Chain A
Amino acid sequence: MKTPILKQGPYLIASLQDELTDTDLLQLQDTLVEQVGRFRSRGVILDVTMLDVMDSFATRTLRNMVQAVSLRGAEAVIVGIRPEVAFAMVQLGLDLRLSGVQTTLDLEEALVMLDHQGQGWGRHG
Chain B
Amino acid sequence: MAEVVRVAIRSDADIVMVRQQARVLAKELGFSASDLTLIATALSELARNIVDYAGQGEIILSLINQGGHRGLVIIARDNGPGITDIERAMQDGYSTGKGLGMGLPGTRRLMDEFEISSGMGQGTTVKVTKWAR
Contact = CB atoms under 8 A, between A and B. Distances in A.
* Chains A, B in direct contact (C-beta < 8 Å): yes
Interface of A: 19-23, 52-57, 59-60, 82-85, 87-89, 91-94, 97
B41 A21 contact: no
Interface of B is mostly: helix
Nearest to A94: B102
Interface of B: 12-13, 15-16, 19-20, 33-34, 36-38, 40-41, 44-45, 48, 92, 99-100, 102-103, 105-107, 109-110
Contacts of A20: 16
A53 B48 CA distance: 13
Contact of B102 (A22, A56, A84, A85): A56
B99 A54 contact: no
B110 A56 contact: no
Contacts of A53: 19, 37, 40-41, 44
Contact of A22 (B34, B38, B48, B103): B48
A82 to B, nearest CB: 8
Contacts of A91: 38, 106, 109-110
A107 B92 CA distance: 33
